[in-house]
Structure 1
Amino acid sequence: MSDSRPHLLFSFGTLMDPKVQKALFGQVVPSRPASLAGYATRPLKITDPDVIAASGLDVHLILERKLGGVVEGAVLHLTDRELAAADAYEVDDYTRRRVVLSSGESAWAYLDANPLRPAARIVIVGDSIAYGRCDPQGGWAARLAAAHIAENETAHRVFNLTIPGSTLAGVSEQTPALLAPRLPDTILLAAGINDSAVPLSTPDADGLVNLTDGLAALAATAHAHNARLVVLGPVWLDEERTGDYEGLRFTENRALALRESLRTWCEDNHIDFVDMWEPLRKKPDLLTDGIHPTPAGHQALYQHLAAGRRTEGSA
């Protein structure tokens, strides 16, 4: 295949239709049969009149995770311009992410824009906040697990592998060996606040400098398991109450720098980013020590995540 068509896009719906391809790309593009393991499809109601006009359908398909499932489709070979046209065609319910085809090839695919809605087997990695420290009920992660498993006790699983005190570098080193027996399709990364802290013993050290190394390693690990990496941003912290915490100094400015670094890296690398800052912002009563949420704070964080799982018009 010519270098002028550098992008592989897995299509399982209307993009395989020659009529749609001619409308979007001006021609029928090179393609070949392909399949995607670990997925199934469900219908999605479409309301965008331009998309309906191009496809002739007001119900499209969207992917969801299913252990043992296989979706048949085709790999399209696209130019930069054609990939941009495909992005513009897909409605806001979809987002473009990397998947591993049954052949072992890496390709783009349009997935549910809400990364938790199609998930089945979720692994959570991160630090003491995701671990649920200061909350006897297990924090937002335990609430998410209870709700997720209740939706489908047969197929849904949540594994909380968080370790208090973890940095992104530590998580990226520890995670690969833990994933295989859990068969994850979605990895929630909730770490980084410890990277933003300034060690009192070495105040010139900057854990944010090498932040992207850990993120890149975790993204590669997730992709190797055909799992979707979802990066959760830091929660708001009350700098007036954190003080010098276990030899570390936490500040709001550093947490904001972490938040922006994570968001930018995710945007640049087509990785999902969920902003966790707002639910607790300027609500010091929802933090026990300025850093760790109270049970009510964890409930607010869980509700923030859960609200994102519901989208009008989904089937």
Structure 2
Amino acid sequence: MTESRPHTLFSFGTLLDKRVQTALFGRAVPSSAASLAGYTTRPLPITDPSVISTSGLDVHLTLERKIGAAVEGAVLHLTDQDLAAADAYEVDDYVRRRVLLSSGESAWAYLDAKPLRAAARIVIAGDSIAYGRCDPQGGWAARLAAAHIAGNEAEHRLFNLAIPGSTLTGVGEQTPPLLAPRLPDTLLVAAGINDSALPLADAGTPRDWSADIADNLTALAAMALTHNARLVVMGPIWLDEARTRDYEGLRFTEERALSLRESIRAWCAESYVDFLDMWEPLRGRPELLVDGLHPNSEGHRVLYRYLDSISR
């Protein structure tokens, strides 16, 4: 029999209610006071009848980022079974993610399922596509910045640190010293397609690079957590292989891009990190790519609209 592992879950709402705990866990669970800095709360209407029946409320609270604010609550000490019961109780508007408590300890917490909707200060780290190459208007990232800042001119910020040619390894090396001055609450990583490329001289040499992807993402997750920033990872966009076979001495193929997509998706699922699948918006639409790899202005507009719909 597998021994149950201990878990700590930060709660500030209905999970602190002993009646809810008894209904979910069969008992009141051990807890200790805790605080979560850099967050505030906002109301969230609930429509799930079973959740309303358990909590007695049709409006719960959800977390939102805000510099200088703090949410007071408690850490619940749970078993594997308890944590699974809590996951089942939370509606689809929430996802379980790692946060850094004011004490410096990490814990689980239920955050907004749309990762950019609750963000205030976003840092983008990525490659030439995130940089906005081939689009005079700055690409999907510039469109996201305009909409995000317009939503709250006083508190919303977006910093684009993308560098053309970057790999996930490069992002991990270049980003850490740039984060602290920007006070990020969300780190949006949009890189990886360069990791999948092969130099033409080695194009016939197979290599399993999924472990490298996982190692790089694990390091980025740890880096984000030290800033209490939520890591959000964008998957690769569709590419037109017929036009990218020989691109600046590199070979980009759909097979390897899809393998990258699945490696990132699997790591995010296992690690409870947000994955934004960007493959479909441009799939089969070569007219939206300048060179088979980089979107044109209309392609970036399509990507931004899709990104906005799934993350905000």
TM range (shorter): over 0.9
Q: Does the 8 A contact of 1:168 with 1:195 survive in 2?
A: yes
CA shift, 1:243, in A, is 2.9
Task: Count residues with an aligned counterpart.
Answer: 308
> Partner residue of 2:21?
21
> 2:210, 2:294 → 1: CA distance?
20
> Partner residue of 1:249?
251
> Partner residue of 1:53?
53
SS in 2 for 1:47: coil
> Compared with structure 1, are the counterparts of its residues 291 and 57 closer, same or farther at alpha carbon in structure 2 (3 Å cutoff)?
same
- After TM superposition, list the pairs within 5 Å mapping 1:26-45 onto structure 2: 26-45=26-45
> 2:238, 2:216 → 1: CA distance?
22
- After TM superposition, list the pairs within 5 Å mapping 1:76-225 onto structure 2: 76-203=76-203, 204=205, 206=207, 207-225=209-227
> Compared with structure 1, are the counterparts of its residues 64 and 81 closer, same or farther at alpha carbon in structure 2 (3 Å cutoff)?
same
TM-score by length of 2: 0.97
> 1:41, 1:117 → 2: CA distance?
13
For 1:9, the aligned partner's letter is L
> 2:311, 2:265 → 1: CA distance?
19
For 1:202, the aligned partner's letter is D
SS in 1 for 2:75: strand
Runs of 4+ in 1 over 4 A off after TM superposition: none
> 1:259, 1:5 → 2: CA distance?
31
> Compared with structure 1, are the counterparts of its residues 264 and 160 closer, same or farther at alpha carbon in structure 2 (3 Å cutoff)?
same
Q: Which runs of 5+ in 2 are unaligned?
A: none
> Partner residue of 1:283?
285
For 1:128, the aligned partner's letter is S
CA shift, 1:174, in A, is 1.1
SS in 2 for 1:306: helix
> 1:46, 1:211 → 2: CA distance?
38
> Partner residue of 2:73?
73
TM-score by length of 1: 0.96
Overall identity of the aligned pairs, in %: 73
Q: Does the 8 A contact of 1:199 with 1:205 survive in 2?
A: no
SS in 1 for 2:43: strand
> 2:256, 2:311 → 1: CA distance?
29
Q: Does the 8 A contact of 2:46 with 2:52 survive in 1?
A: yes
Deviations 1:50-71 (A, max 9, x none): 0000000000000000011100
> Partner residue of 1:308?
310
SS in 1 for 2:188: strand
Q: Which runs of 5+ in 1 are unaligned?
A: 311-315
Q: Does the 8 A contact of 1:230 with 1:274 survive in 2?
A: yes
Deviations 1:132-182 (A, max 9, x none): 000000000000000000000100000000000001111111111110000
For 1:99, the aligned partner's letter is V
CA shift, 1:201, in A, is 2.9
> 1:274, 1:5 → 2: CA distance?
29
Are 2:252 and 1:262 aligned?
Answer: no
CA shift, 1:264, in A, is 0.2
